[in-house]
Amino acid sequence: MQVSILIENTVGRPLDLLGEHGLSLWVRTPEHQFLYDTGQSGALVHNAVVLGVSLREAEAVVLSHGHYDHTGGLRAALKAIGRAVPVLAHPDLFSDHRVSEPDRFVGIPFSRTELEACGAEFQWTAEPLEIFQGVWASGTVPKTNAFERGDARMYVLEEDRRVPDPLRDDLSLYLDTPGGLVILTGCAHAGVVNITEHARAVTGRERIRAIIGGTHLAPVEADHLEKTIAYLKGLDLELLAACHCTGLPVAARLAAEFGRRFSFGSTGLTFTF
Ligand SMILES: [Fe+2]
Ligand SMILES: [Fe+2]
């Protein structure tokens, strides 16, 4: 299997690539290829051309959650795919996601009708689902530990009252490879430890080879960060490509902790398993 980073906050290769706050991954299995997230602006279409990725051959688009920095490129991606294509997401994708600093709407910036007019054939799953052979979509990730409490700045409105955003739509991918699982996360709003334990429970595989994607460790408290690092060290990962909402200070710490097994996971990188 291969995972290429089409969009990330930074550009890591000396190529004509665009970086933006967001994430988009291109996944190739022995038989299938598909898009996981679409970045913020549609710049993934340009980057795909530069990297030799043919979006026309996407057999599906999987969305990690409704946040604009993962779904804002969806309309452009659908146009580049150029035909009807399954778009798999959690049923809460269109949830009215908001954030308080600065106060704004951060959900998906398109209507369902508009996206369907561009070829999106929505398929919903709140349960784990094997979408291709060896590729599992998480569905809702159970929050099983006490320290991954989510981002207090994120909220939804319930009858004009602000309540914490449960972000149930946070959907990760679990790739079953011969040497163990490769976990792909969008922002890991459900918590990277919760997600990893869920991956094991869903697939029945114990060994985790790699974690690639956002970890949302940038805003967490010290205790949360230390517990997460201790857990990740216990996994004996081949690769930790913690990028996007990991934030540079935490990514730098992880680089120091994990040495050559760490990657900043920037735009243009490809990992082969
Ligand atoms: Fe994000
Ligand atoms: Fe997010």
Ligand lying nearest the CA atom of residue 107: 2
3-42 burial, b for 16+ CB within 10 Å, e for fewer? Answer: bbbbbbbbbbeeeebbbbbbbbbbbbbeebbbbbbbbbbb
Spacing, Cα 16 to ligand 1 middle (Å): 23
As given in the structure block, the two tokens for residue 126 are 């709140």
Spacing, Cα 23 to ligand 1 middle (Å): 7
Q: For residues 184 and 210, give the distance between their C-alpha atoms in angstroms, rounded to a whole number.
A: 8
Q: For residues 95 and 268, give the distance between their C-alpha atoms in angstroms, rounded to a whole number.
A: 31
Spacing, Cα 189 to ligand 1 middle (Å): 9
Ligand lying nearest the CA atom of residue 213: 1
Spacing, Cα 244 to ligand 1 middle (Å): 7
- The pLDDT of residue 42 is 98
Sequential pLDDT tens for the chain (273 residues): 999 999 999 998 999 999 999 999 999 999 999 999 999 999 999 999 999 999 999 999 999 999 999 999 999 999 999 999 999 999 999 999 999 989 999 999 999 999 999 999 999 999 999 999 999 999 999 999 999 999 999 999 999 999 999 999 999 999 999 999 999 999 999 999 999 999 999 999 999 999 999 999 999 999 999 999 999 999 999 999 999 999 999 999 999 999 999 999 999 999 999
Ligand lying nearest the CA atom of residue 214: 1
Angle, vertex CA 234, rays to CA 229 and CA 235, nearest 5: 100
Spacing, Cα 245 to ligand 2 middle (Å): 8
Per the listing, tokens 């595989």 go with 205
**CATH code for 2-272?**
3.60.15.10
What are the residue ranges spanned by the domains of the chain? 2-272
pTM of the full predicted structure? Answer: 0.98
Distance of CA 30 to the CA centre of its chain: 21
Spacing, Cα 238 to ligand 1 middle (Å): 24
The helix (H) or strand (E) run that includes residue 251 is helix 248-258
Spacing, Cα 24 to ligand 1 middle (Å): 10
Ligand lying nearest the CA atom of residue 23: 1
Q: For residues 141 and 195, give the distance between their C-alpha atoms in angstroms, rounded to a whole number.
A: 6
Ligand lying nearest the CA atom of residue 150: 2
- The pLDDT of residue 148 is 97
- Work out whether the CA dihedral 65, 45, 5, 249 comes out positive or negative: negative
Distance of CA 150 to the CA centre of its chain: 16
Per the listing, tokens 């149930």 go with 168
- The pLDDT of residue 135 is 98
As given in the structure block, the two tokens for residue 216 are 């949302």
- The pLDDT of residue 188 is 98
Are 26 and 52 within 8 A, CB to CB?
no
Are 155 and 163 within 8 A, CB to CB?
yes
